Amino acid sequence: MKFDDLINSFVPHTLLRGGIIQTIVGSQFPGKSMTPTGRVTHIIDLEKNSKSISYEITAKDKTKPAVLLAHGMGGCSESGYIKRIAGKLWSQGYGVFMVNHRGSGAGMGLSSRLWNGGSSDDLSEMVNFILKKYPRLILIGFSLSGNILLKYLGEGRFIPSGVVGALSVNPPIDLRLASQTLSTSPSCWLFNKYYMKLIKNQIRVLKKNFPSCVEQSIDFSTIWNFDVSYTAPIGGYENVDDYYDKCSGKKFLNNIKTPTAILCSIDDPFVPPKIFQDLSRAVTIYQPKGGGHMGYVSAKQTPFGDYRWMDYAIINWVQEICEKVSSHWS
């Protein structure tokens, strides 16, 4: 099925109608994942006192581009959606890189600060590392990584020709709006609590290994307060508004040249559909009528035997990109 048709075909599960419940199920029920063979560990140097751990699932079909999967806030390479999609991509022959941002996953405690919504320099290092092993690469960023991906593509840096396509899934391209919503909306208090619990654990490990790099006055009550007390100052920004202004993906959309797609449901509780404006010709926005924030649990079973429509849609999109790449390179 073509990706355009697939977007219009999504119907949420009968018991899971609404963005909030879709988001909860998507984040709290990881689902089953395949167990690929040939997983290789890579240590990527980002800068002094900062390393990232990434896992490569070796390609079964070397003619296909590799796929980079970047997790969302508080997540890691072992997040349920990353493992599910990585396994399905591998089953179709693709090599997959499950990256961990600095301070996340297996890289917890290996960096003197955590990543944030503007960490495009780190993404660039990861991309360059992978392109030394694979000539062509597809980039997929989820949630906050989706914002970083759009920033990376549109901020004016050199994008290697080996990057043949990019997909940003439910990206909070207005960081200020997303932070305000998560921190103040009564319907989002549970998500704020969940994300802050994950981040607090990352800070705990960071503080153990780099005690001088963590101030005692970090406010973990909300994402907004955490960004005020930690993200902005540790990242070198003047204040939280400076961080949000400089790193929100929406300001970079019109400059993107790489073939790029954005997948974001119209009922995402953190990312309102109206913010996707001023897209360049290289960027296509797909907005299913339901799915929440990276939930997309469908009423119908997918060809993979589950109800994870997001996974199936992503695999379809990757395959369409590969067909275009193959025709271009042939």
CATH code of the domain containing 58: 3.40.50.1820
By three-state DSSP, how is residue 141 classified?
strand
Q: Do 263 and 143 form a contact (C-beta atoms < 8 A)?
A: no
Any domain includes 20: yes
Spell out, as residue ranges, where the chain has pLDDT lower than 70: 1, 327-330
Any domain includes 35: yes
Q: Strand 50-57 and strand 39-47: pairing?
A: antiparallel
**DSSP class of residue 52?**
E
Q: How many helices (H) and strands (E) does the chain have?
A: 11, 8
pTM across the whole model: 0.96
How buried is 216 (Cβ within 10 angstroms: 0-12 exposed, 13-18 middle, 19+ buried)?
exposed
Strand order in the sheet with 260-263: 39-47, 50-57, 96-99, 66-70, 137-142, 163-169, 260-263, 283-286
Task: Report the residue count for the chain.
Answer: 330
In the chain, the number of structural domains is 1
Any domain includes 30: yes
Q: Where are the alpha helices (DSSP H) in the chain?
A: 3-9, 19-28, 80-91, 120-131, 144-154, 175-184, 189-209, 223-226, 232-234, 240-247, 309-329
Any domain includes 223: no
Query: What local confidence, expressed as pLDDT, does residue 327 receive?
Result: 62
Any domain includes 193: no
Query: What local confidence, expressed as pLDDT, does residue 18 receive?
Result: 93
Query: What local confidence, expressed as pLDDT, does residue 162 receive?
Result: 97
By three-state DSSP, how is residue 168 classified?
strand
Query: What local confidence, expressed as pLDDT, does residue 197 receive?
Result: 95
Any domain includes 216: no
Any domain includes 239: no
Any domain includes 74: yes
Digit-coded pLDDT (tens) for 91-105: 999 999 999 999 999
- Residue 162's domain comprises 3-173+249-325
Digit-coded pLDDT (tens) for 211-226: 888 877 899 999 999 9
Exposure of 282 in the CB half-sphere (CA atoms within 13 A):
17
